[in-house]
Amino acid sequence: MVDRDDKKREPSATREASVPDIDPDAPPSADEVAASECLRDALADPSVPNHDAELARSLRAAFAPAAIAAAAHDDIVDDVPTADELALADELRAALEDLGGGGDNGGDEPDLVRALGAAWRPGEIGKTDHDALVAKATKDLAASNSDNEGAKIIPFARRRAGIAAVATGILALAASVFLFITTSDRSGLRPSAPLARARSTQPLFGEPFKAGDQSKPGDASARIDKIAVARASDYRDNRFRKWGVR
């Protein structure tokens, strides 16, 4: 029980009025039951808003403050910009201000920012710049044409023409004889076997290939090698048959 003198030392009349003198063991009213359930839920789940629970938690924090969770602390530390980050942020800000002026500041981030801007809203090429490019290109075209025009044409003397005609005639005759001999030789070697045709490579393997199978490292490379060897062999055979050597 509380001493009457102690009661006199209670801080204010307001507090006395707001905290009715209830027997702790008196049966609860319906309002009290509802309020107590709210407090119970709020204490169990901090996300539930409740003034009494907040008060309870502040009491607990003052009495036995808990350590901050490592992950939460890491997040806070991560949120604080480092000196480097501040410097880079400042550089990026300066580069962004300069973008309108067409500056080409170095650095990865300004480069990327410029690339994003160029992809999203590409600007026009300046007329003077473009005129200069076209002027250079057309000048190059004129230069390449004048090179062609500048090639010397050697006049063909009548006597030389006669010599050339005789020489050409002899060469043509020799070539026709050579052609006759080689084709008549080859006619006996015409391929009788058909050429290898395009076909599936599946018969080269005992089991179907499973893409992404990690249990057999190098399986894909071995398979490709086998296919390449088979294809090379087909190709070689076809060439030989076409040449008539098989």
Partner 1 sequence: MADASAETRDGVITRTPEEAEAVQKRRAEADAIDRELVQKAQAGDRTALGELLHKYGPGLYRSILLPRLGNKTAATEALAETYAKVVANIGKFVWQNVGFYPWLRTVALRVALDQLRAKKRLVLFEEDDLAREVDAAQTETPVEQQLSDQRDREAARRKVDDALGEIHPRYARAIRLRILEEKPRDAVATELGVSPATFDVLLHRAVASLKKTLGRATEGRDSDG
Q: Which residues bind partner 1 (CB under 8 A)?
A: 81, 85-86, 88-90, 92-93, 96, 102, 104, 108-109, 111-125, 129-130, 133-142, 144-145
Residues 6+ apart with CB under 8 A from 209: 219, 220, 223
Find out whether 194 and 246 touch, Cβ atoms under 8 Å: no
Closer to partner 1 by Cβ: residue 123 or 206: 123
CB of 56 to partner 1, least distance (A): 32
Burial 94-129 (b: 16+ CB within 10 A, else e): ebbeeeeeeeebeeeebeebbeeeeeeeeeeeeeee
Residue 35 or 88 having the CB closest to partner 1: 88
Helix (H, G, I), strand (E, B) or coil at 126: coil
- CA pair distance 113, 95, nearest whole angstrom: 9
Q: 72: which residues sit within 8 A by CB, 6+ positions away?
A: none
Q: Which CB, 205 or 209, lies closer to partner 1?
A: 209
Closest CB 110 distance from partner 1, rounded Å: 9
Q: How far is the CB of 203 from partner 1 (least distance, A)?
A: 29
Nearer to partner 1 among residue 89 and residue 161 (C-beta): 89
User: Phi, psi at residue 184, to the nearest 5°?
Assistant: -70, -30
Cα separation, 125 vs 131, whole angstroms: 10
Question: Between residues 43 and 113, which has the closer beta carbon with respect to partner 1?
Answer: 113
Q: Which is nearer to partner 1, 39 or 99 (CB)?
A: 99
The Cα–Cα gap between 120 and 238 comes to 53
Question: Is 194 in a helix, a strand, or coil?
Answer: coil
